[in-house]
């Protein structure tokens, strides 16, 4: 099987990670790194290497020896680059979020479809062994109905120059929810609150609540100002509860056979005191998971989707659903009201 | 110094804890335990004891050999019992929440004032060495401006027969905020979301956001359905950040000299990308705290307030502020809007 | 079923814990507390109680209304008190260690046997739900052959006036090993090292290695000088490995389906490089355990043994085996050699 | 400043880590990777690289364009390779342990000295920010006299084909002790115990006790069979106690202002009960440490030692002291006696 030839566009914050993973993948041959700043690109490539530096995207896209690109530039530039790449016959991987606007996102999806090229989102966490396992557990019914989700993603983060903390961090939580929940991101009106206590011009702390089908609720807490790092994701189910602590390598995922069972529900308000519940305090089970770098599995999926001519696990539509939620969160922040996310097919 | 004589009213869930602490306190002499169910009261007292069982509150309140009572009955009964006790010349300690309605609460405060008796709330957590220390640190300016507070209080809790999860658990968080913040519970309009995914007739999972004076935000997360127990309380400040993990006895409170400093703020929206921030990654300091049971310190404060003829640290007004927030949370849950808490002096 | 009547002898460090547990047990009626210091005994009993204070053991033992005693005095006084109690027809519970000398211990066991009374050791940890569960797992074969045991029991402890750190802390580890291992304390020659870096006149830090039947090894580490508290007990087995962390209430006991399998053993020394091993990296299983106070279960076992006329789970012979190991440890410390523990039946 | 040119000899387990760090260091230019297996060397180098593959060490050492080598081959081959490299005028970095025998080690040190070349040991942990900080704290007197050291280094490790668990893991502990203690590895007679419960032909579990000057004790616990990974290193001092937990990135090093003070020492044995101790329960301080890869700092030190013509921080003599302890441990294992380590200058 021949390796696929790829170029990475953007040698800034995330680009080096893509470079490293394409380089160490048996599926890929990294041909070039493209950045307006040639020195930055050269630094990422390192010495004694024949990987090429490019500074002109147009020229890069004209090369015949490149099958695919990976775009790691600021979100507002994604649409132009991705559409040009699709038109040039290249497969496209883009960093999250897909684009700045839903309109741009739709054009990117369309361009890839028109040119029969893969459009893939680097929703990195969906390629961790933990999230893959969680998705399977939910699909198998091991967790039961999803009653609540609590995701906390906080640390001392870079205050981003052009977006608030939701746009920086929540795409991770939203893409994971979209990937693992049986109903994906089909949630009700979103309520978001936030604060900018350092007066930076954008929310640096944020909380969002997403009503789930069936009466549950998902909560997302993001924060750039926290000195402690937390990556905690809890899924409370009617059968069991799953705790994913990504900073605990000995025990990233634990399934608790514990919960509340409702034996008798109240018939009406007058009877509401009559609810009868019982408590399960069962065992905890910690599945053995491989310790594999998610980006390595992500670039493997990129190659597999291209070779098999199929959409990748995290395709442009997933990217659009995440983007739609981000816009709903922003509108809720601005208006103080719950805001229903726009459906992908809405006009 | 003579011991004060006390009776505990209510031998249910919390009463035994009060009984144990009054018994082991040098300030108090436990005279009687009062409950409609004489056997339940007797069980709490135990064998070979001369502490008396009472089943009639009216009779209890007429006794001359009792200086004070502690009321550990359901919230809806607090007002009647406390007002009767105040009128009978007894000092009153009540469990949280103070009452079911703000109107009841006002009458309780008034009755204690009219009869010059102490009215104290058992806001237990305010008497932990951790919270006492946090209050001092904030007062001394060690934390700086409060940027955000994140409180998470979740575990497999008893689904209460007559209240939602906020009324059961959030009084702890609210009373702590009232106690430690320089501005107490003077917060902006409250946004609350919740869910009842088991269809029990009341919210079992809840999230509330409270805007703080100065642009910060406090977040409270409460949950009865969680198989894991979390008691985490983080105060992010402009100078340092405090993490209180009540389940980590080796290190309950830690002060992080870490955070974000804003060197230059954007002048206007066009300039918002120009924000310049720097990051402090300093040391962590863990103060030595005594391991003392909070209820022991609470009953000591009750005695001290009586002897010194002064309001206790957690008095009826603190109880009213907490109650007012609970009502605002309920209204936000019901309406989907942010709701300003009623001020104590409002009519 | 009538309650049994008990008196506690010794109101010092541990006595109050026994008093509390006898008081709250449905099996027992605490009649008296005996101490040379009447005020100390009275303080342990508390106010408004009809439990009696005794200061004369001889008088106490003559009382007809007492079935059993619990001895919580210094170890060197155990023999005289226990033998007198047995002769007076009382059942006896003694704190660990059983006695100071093996000769005293033998006399105590004999006196109880001669008078057909129960002699029980308060090997408290054997009554924790964790140790009970571990014993069952080993008996069922869930762990396989025991390859190694690592027990660490360190904290800032009271430097005892008359014994070294092994005599203070290691009885816990030794009594647990005796209780859970299929072969009990039938170990090979013991190697102990220790240090007295503060020049207090006795070892304050100690390490002991006990060869297990079958080629394994048990290691015990005890330390009075550590600012951190550790209670960790690991049993590595051929089938799985058990980790007991007594300070982690969410997860005291975990069973790891992980280990090393030896596919081919070397035939001789020349072939020793040929060993072929494989590694299992399976799941972790955390059994749900009751959170019950061990002392409560211990006093229940004391009552059950008396009523059923049978030896208790931790009887005088278990106490002698632990004592024999302590003497072997002391001798190894003094001589720098491995020392075989004296067998109980040796003369 | 010109970069130094280096070749890595050995592309097995550890070689790739050296390759990666030389490549990303501004001090070094990686010229070649040498291995008997050309394909293995090529795999380590990766595609699109001009780093050369060598299979003949003799040829490699004759090249003029190489200043230094790094030897990552089995220990028994170190002496021949290092001596040849020194004679060829190359600086030498070797993996631990320095050699198999003390005689080989002495010859290596002599060869480097005779040819005025650097001989450096890759005692990796000495280059972690944690160990550097610990060394400074001890040198400044922040810990006081060292009372005890407890090092636990266990995990599911590769059962090595030709050495026991001490030779595989204890060089880390020993090199750290040598680096941080004011008296280095000048310890008393070593007591070691071990077990081979799987009958593999070598100890897979081991414990060693090293008496420290001044009455303290260092304990090292190593284990290949543990399903859990522990990297814990505690230094108890007369002033404070340091806990280094290398698996806790939020808090690798913590300094506890806690301990035991002896107010009055016993004059003689008759008085030994008179010891008066007091307990300090002060604060915990967690210094901020850089998160830097140790190997990066190690290759920087290698370059600095060469440029400055000085011995590196971990030189051949440090390697010999560690080796001497390993031999003493082996002898204690074999004889069951405490064994004094051979001094470097002994013949």
DSSP D86-114: HHTT-EEEEESSS-SSHHHHHHHHHHHHH
Contact in structure between C266 and C274 (CB atoms under 8 Å): yes
> Which of B23, B29, B50 faces C50 most closely, judged by CB atoms?
B50
In tens, the pLDDT along C29-41 reads 999 999 999 999 9
Which residues of A are less than 8 Å from C251 in CB distance? Answer: 284
In degrees, rounded to 5, the angle at the alpha carbon of residue C307 between the alpha carbons of residues C304 and C311 is: 65
In tens, the pLDDT along B216-254 reads 999 999 999 998 889 999 999 999 999 999 999 889 999
In tens, the pLDDT along B323-345 reads 999 999 999 999 999 999 998 76
> Which of B200, B207, B266 faces A265 most closely, judged by CB atoms?
B200
Lowest mean pLDDT among A150-164, B97-111, B133-147, B201-215: A150-164
Q: What's the pLDDT score for residue D264?
A: 64
Which residues of C are less than 8 Å from A254 in CB distance? Answer: 286
In tens, the pLDDT along A293-318 reads 999 999 999 999 999 999 999 999 99
What are the two backbone dihedrals, phi and then psi, of residue D285, each rounded to the nearest 5 degrees? -125, 130
Q: What are the residue ranges of helices labelled H in C199-345?
A: 294-308, 316-335
Q: Which residue of B has its CA nearest to C251?
A: B228
Q: Which residue has the tokens 């009324």?
A: B167
- Cα–Cα distances in angstroms (integers) from residue B211 to residues A242, B143, B147, B340, D279, in the given order: 31, 18, 10, 10, 45
Which residues of D are less than 8 Å from B251 in CB distance? Answer: 284
In tens, the pLDDT along A13-51 reads 999 999 999 999 999 999 999 999 999 999 999 999 999
What are the two backbone dihedrals, phi and then psi, of residue D142, each rounded to the nearest 5 degrees? -70, -20
Q: Is A46 on the interface with D (CB under 8 A)?
A: yes
Contact in structure between B280 and B237 (CB atoms under 8 Å): no
Q: Which residues of C158-316 form beta strands (DSSP E)?
A: 191-195, 205-211, 217-223, 225-237, 241-245, 253-264, 276-286
At residue C270, does pLDDT exceed 60? no
> Which of D202, D224, D279 faces C156 most closely, judged by CB atoms?
D279
Task: Give the rounded percent of residues in chain C with a pLDDT score beyond 70.
Answer: 95
| A positions 5-44 inside 8 Å of D (CB) | 23-24, 29-30
Contact in structure between B71 and B112 (CB atoms under 8 Å): no
Which residues of B are less than 8 Å from C49 in CB distance? Answer: 48-50
Which residues of D are less than 8 Å from C337 in CB distance? Answer: 336-337
Cα A324 to chain centroid distance, Å, stands at 13
Cα distance between residue B67 and residue B298, in whole Å: 17
At residue C216, does pLDDT exceed 80? yes
Q: Do residue A214 and residue B197 have CB atoms under 8 angstroms apart?
A: yes
CA dihedral for D118, D123, D125, D126, sign (positive or negative): negative
> Which of C200, C262, C269 faces D275 most closely, judged by CB atoms?
C200
Q: For chains B and D, what is the number of CB pairs under 8 angstroms?
A: 30
A171 vs A265, which has greater pLDDT? A171
* Mutation site, C137, C284, C292, interface A, largest A CB count within 10 A: C284
Q: Do residue C284 and residue A283 have CB atoms under 8 angstroms apart?
A: no
**How far B136 CA sits from the closest chain D CA (Å)?**
16
Average pLDDT over residues B49-75: 97
Q: Do residue B29 and residue C49 have CB atoms under 8 angstroms apart?
A: no
Which tokens hold the place of A19?
A: 């470079």
Q: Is A217 on the interface with B (CB under 8 A)?
A: yes
- Neighbors of chain D by Cβ distance (3+ pairs < 8 Å): A, B, C
Q: Which residue of D has its CA nearest to B254?
A: D284
Q: What's the pLDDT score for residue A347?
A: 46
Q: Which residue of C has its CA nearest to B227?
A: C250
Q: Which residue of B has its CA nearest to A150?
A: B221
Q: Is A334 on the interface with B (CB under 8 A)?
A: no
> Which of B159, B195, B260 faces A148 most closely, judged by CB atoms?
B195
**How far D31 CA sits from the closest chain A CA (Å)?**
9
Task: Give the rounded percent of residues in chain B with a pLDDT score beyond 70.
Answer: 95
Q: What's the pLDDT score for residue A264?
A: 64
Which residues of C are less than 8 Å from B51 in CB distance? Answer: 48
In tens, the pLDDT along C316-335 reads 999 999 999 999 999 999 99
At residue A103, does pLDDT exceed 90? yes
User: Would you say how long chain D is, in residues?
Assistant: 347
- Neighbors of chain A by Cβ distance (3+ pairs < 8 Å): B, C, D
Q: Do residue A30 and residue D50 have CB atoms under 8 angstroms apart?
A: no
In tens, the pLDDT along A161-215 reads 789 999 999 999 999 999 999 999 999 999 999 999 999 999 999 999 999 999 9
Q: What's the pLDDT score for residue A277?
A: 77
At residue A321, does pLDDT exceed 90? yes
Task: Give the rounded percent of residues in chain A with a pLDDT score beyond 70.
Answer: 95
Cα distance between residue C123 and residue C138, in whole Å: 19
At residue C140, does pLDDT exceed 60? yes
DSSP assignment, residue B68? E
Average pLDDT over residues C146-155: 95
Contact in structure between B273 and B264 (CB atoms under 8 Å): no
Q: Is C140 on the interface with B (CB under 8 A)?
A: no
Tell me the average pLDDT of chain C.
94
Q: What's the pLDDT score for residue D283?
A: 95
Q: Do residue C286 and residue A286 have CB atoms under 8 angstroms apart?
A: yes
**How far B207 CA sits from the closest chain A CA (Å)?**
8
Q: What are the residue ranges of helices labelled H in chain A?
A: 15-23, 38-45, 57-62, 78-87, 102-114, 129-139, 165-180, 294-308, 316-335
- Neighbors of chain B by Cβ distance (3+ pairs < 8 Å): A, C, D
| D positions 261-320 inside 8 Å of A (CB) | none
> Which of A251, A281, A288 faces C282 most closely, judged by CB atoms?
A288
* Mutation site, C282, C283, C287, interface A, largest A CB count within 10 A: C283
DSSP D170-206: HHHHHHHHHHHSTTTT----BEEEEE-TT--SS-SEE
* Mutation site, C163, C193, C251, interface D, largest D CB count within 10 A: C193
> Which of B147, B193, B202 faces A225 most closely, judged by CB atoms?
B147
> Which of A197, A216, A258 faces B195 most closely, judged by CB atoms?
A216
Q: For chains A and C, what is the number of CB pairs under 8 angstroms?
A: 30
Cα distance between residue B90 and residue C259, in whole Å: 66
Confidence grade of residue C347 (pLDDT, cut at 50, 70, 90): very low
Q: Is A202 on the interface with B (CB under 8 A)?
A: yes
Q: Which residue of A has its CA nearest to B338?
A: A336
Q: Do residue A209 and residue B193 have CB atoms under 8 angstroms apart?
A: yes
Q: Is B160 on the interface with A (CB under 8 A)?
A: no
Tell me the average pLDDT of chain B.
94
**Cis, bond preceding C97 (omega within 30 deg of 0):** yes
What are the two backbone dihedrals, phi and then psi, of residue D14, each rounded to the nearest 5 degrees? -100, -25
Cα distance between residue D165 and residue D177, in whole Å: 18
> Which of C47, C49, C250 faces B48 most closely, judged by CB atoms?
C49
Lowest mean pLDDT among B261-270, C96-105, D151-160: B261-270
If you count DSSP H runs as helices and E runs as strands, how many of each does chain A have, helices first?
9, 14
**How far C157 CA sits from the closest chain D CA (Å)?**
9
Q: What's the pLDDT score for residue D228?
A: 86
Contact in structure between B255 and B136 (CB atoms under 8 Å): no
Model-level pTM greater than 0.90? yes
- Block means of pLDDT (10 residues each) for chain D, length 347 residues? 94 96 97 98 96 98 98 96 98 97 97 98 98 97 96 86 92 98 94 95 96 96 92 95 93 91 64 69 94 96 98 98 98 94 75
Q: What's the pLDDT score for residue A211?
A: 97
* Mutation site, D22, D23, D48, interface A, largest A CB count within 10 A: D48
- What domains can be seen in chain B, in order of their start residue? 4-123+294-315 (3.40.50.720), 126-292+326-335 (3.30.360.10)
In tens, the pLDDT along C39-51 reads 999 999 999 999 9
Q: Which residues of chain B form beta strands (DSSP E)?
A: 4-9, 28-34, 52-54, 68-71, 91-95, 119-122, 146-156, 191-195, 205-211, 217-223, 225-237, 241-245, 253-264, 276-286
């Amino acid at each position: 099987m021949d390796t696929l030839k790829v170029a990475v566009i953007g040698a800034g914050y995330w680009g080096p990670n893509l470079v490293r993973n394409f380089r160490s993948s048996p599926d890929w041959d990294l041909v070039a790194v493209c950045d307006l700043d040639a020195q930055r690109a050269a630094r990422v490539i390192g010495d004694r290497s024949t990987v090429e530096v490019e500074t002109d995207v147009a020229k890069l896209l004209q090369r015949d020896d490149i099958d695919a690109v990976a775009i790691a530039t600021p979100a507002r530039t994604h649409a132009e680059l991705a559409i040009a790449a699709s038109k040039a016959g290249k497969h496209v991987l883009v960093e999250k979020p897909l684009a700045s606007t839903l309109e741009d996102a739709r054009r990117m999806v369309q361009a890839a479809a028109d040119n029969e090229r893969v459009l893939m989102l680097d929703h990195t966490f969906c390629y961790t062994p933990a999230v893959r396992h969680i998705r399977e557990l939910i699909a198998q019914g091991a967790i039961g109905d999803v009653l609540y989700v609590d995701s906390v993603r906080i640390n001392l983060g870079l205050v981003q120059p052009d977006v608030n903390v939701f746009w920086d961090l929540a795409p991770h939580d939203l893409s994971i929810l979209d990937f693992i929940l049986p109903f994906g991101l089909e949630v009700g009106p979103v309520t978001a609150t936030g604060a900018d206590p350092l007066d930076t011009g954008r929310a640096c702390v944020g909380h969002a609540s997403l009503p789930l089908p069936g009466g549950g609720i998902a909560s997302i807490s993001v924060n750039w100002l926290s000195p402690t790092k937390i990556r905690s994701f809890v899924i409370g189910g009617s059968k069991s509860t799953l705790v994913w602590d990504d900073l605990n390598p000995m025990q990233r995922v634990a399934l608790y056979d514990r919960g509340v069972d409702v034996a008798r529900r109240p018939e009406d308000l007058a009877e509401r005191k009559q609810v009868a519940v019982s408590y399960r305090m069962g065992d905890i089970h910690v599945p053995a998971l491989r310790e594999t770098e998610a980006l390595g599995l992500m670039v493997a999926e990129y190659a597999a989707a291209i070779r098999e001519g199929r959409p990748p696990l995290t395709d442009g539509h997933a990217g659009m659903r995440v983007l739609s939620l981000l816009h709903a969160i922003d509108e809720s922040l601005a208006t103080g009201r719950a805001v229903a996310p726009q459906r992908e097919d809405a006009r």
